[in-house]
Amino acid sequence: MALRYIGQKAAQQIDEELMSAAGAFSIDQLMELAGLSCAQALAKSFPVKTHARVLVCCGPGNQGGDGLVAARHLHHFSYNPTIYYPKPGGKDLYQRLLKQARNLGIPVVDTEGFPASLEGADVVMDAIFGFSFHPPVRAPFDKVLTALAESSKPILSVDIPSGWGVEEGRQRLTNTQGEEVATIDPEVLISLTAPKEGSRNYTGKHWLGGRFVPDDLAKRYELNLPEYPGVDQVVELPPSGKL
């Protein structure tokens, strides 16, 4: 059976179930597993010999937390990550993830340092917006998305390309002043838990990560998840998720 693409409501319900008393996962666990999957997807797509310098662009929410975790794992995979994190989340979890990255000597830059970091990168990990994003795009991310879209650097997006609708896919974007914001087209996408409706027509290299979904939950939501090979945390999906 074909892999199921889920909408925003189902994605939120699955997350809530995983972190419920019955699911028993903590957000720390899920973020760690998701970030590890993202790092492995990047490593499988962009070899360290040619793409060692990774700019990890993190938003202030859970998507950014996945990016912080991924940056740490990429460091241990012998990559040289730099974190762009202009609006750090205020929760203790995000502060600890950022501290863990700094303890490894991973550089963290703000919006002023973003252009030079983008110029010096071999590949970009887009962990800015997740499936809860709704336009318009607020500063400073309006300029960041345009810069990424206009750059020649390859991009790996986490879960859904930043700025895309979780159900609509690629969409026209504006900032809070009504000015147009460019839309990114990543070379690689890693969906987490299950692919989202907005990525149904995505044509680049597509990975699925999230080797933690309980069998009964996957069955109830009819996710029809593929088997992960060996001990990998990611599995590559064929076009349109046809298995």
Question: What is the pLDDT, as a whole number, of residue 240?
Answer: 59
- What residues have CB less than 8 Å from 122, skipping those under 6 apart? 46, 50, 51, 52, 53, 54, 153
Return binding residues for (6S)-NADPHX. Answer: 62-66, 130-136, 159
Question: What is the pLDDT, as a whole number, of residue 182?
Answer: 95
Catalogue all structural domains in the chain, each as residue range(s) with its CATH number. Answer: 8-241 (3.40.50.10260)
Pick the range with the lowest mean pLDDT from 33-47, 65-79, 134-148, 228-242: 228-242
184-203 confidence digits (pLDDT tens) = 999 999 999 999 999 998 99
Q: Which two tokens stand for residue 103?
A: 């303890």
Q: Which pLDDT band, with edges at 50, 70 and 90, does 88 fall under?
A: confident
Cα separation of 76 and 86, whole Å? 24
Question: What is the pLDDT, as a whole number, of residue 242?
Answer: 53
Nearest to 127 by CA among 98, 85, 174: 85
Question: What is the pLDDT, as a whole number, of residue 190?
Answer: 98
> Can you give the pTM of this predicted structure?
0.95
Quick one: average pLDDT of 154-182? Answer: 94
pLDDT greater than 60 at residue 243: no
Return binding residues. Answer: 62-66, 126, 130-136, 159, 162
9-52 confidence digits (pLDDT tens) = 999 999 999 999 999 999 999 999 999 999 999 999 999 999 99
Average pLDDT, the chain: 95
Quick one: average pLDDT of 83-87? Answer: 94
pLDDT greater than 60 at residue 145: yes
Return binding residues for K(+). Answer: 63, 126, 162
Quick one: average pLDDT of 107-117? Answer: 97
45-73 confidence digits (pLDDT tens) = 999 999 999 999 999 999 999 999 999 99
pLDDT greater than 80 at residue 241: no
Neighbours of 152 (CB within 10 A): 4
Residue 172: is it exposed, middle or buried by C-beta count within 10 angstroms (0-12/13-18/19+)? Answer: exposed
Nearest to 60 by CA among 83, 88, 35: 88
Q: Helix, strand, coil % (nearest 5) of the chain?
A: 35, 20, 45
Question: What is the pLDDT, as a whole number, of residue 87?
Answer: 87
Cα separation of 141 and 146, whole Å? 8
Quick one: average pLDDT of 166-183? Answer: 93
> Per residue in 111-130, is it b (16+ CB within 10 Å) or e — as a string?
eeebeebbeebbbbbbbbbb
